[in-house]
Amino acid sequence: MTKDDLKKIISSETNLTQKKVEEIIECILDTIIEVVKVDGSITFNNFGKFERKFKKEKRGINPQTGDLVLLPPKEVFIFKPSKNIFKTEE
């Protein structure tokens, strides 16, 4: 599914225009990114947690030459789904 597919589904379910839904989706995503940058994480109950993590530098291998290289530390954005996200309703 793409963001465009999601936009169409939400638009048909809410009777909002696709343009308005796109604005809302962009606002939500921008807000999530900004909160994670500032606070380090954001949690949505029964959905999951978006989090900023820092990876340490590590050794790797250049696949073209086979030489050992040192990979620099980096910041990554991860998502951990809630344990309840895949539970089926009975």
Contacts 24+ apart (CB under 8 A), 46-50: 46/82, 46/84, 46/85, 47/81, 47/82, 47/85, 48/79, 48/80, 48/81, 48/82, 48/85, 49/79, 49/80, 49/82, 50/77, 50/78, 50/79
pLDDT greater than 60 at residue 90 = no
What global pTM score does this model have?
Answer: 0.73
pLDDT tens profile 15-74: 999 999 999 999 999 999 999 999 999 999 989 999 999 999 999 999 999 999 999 999
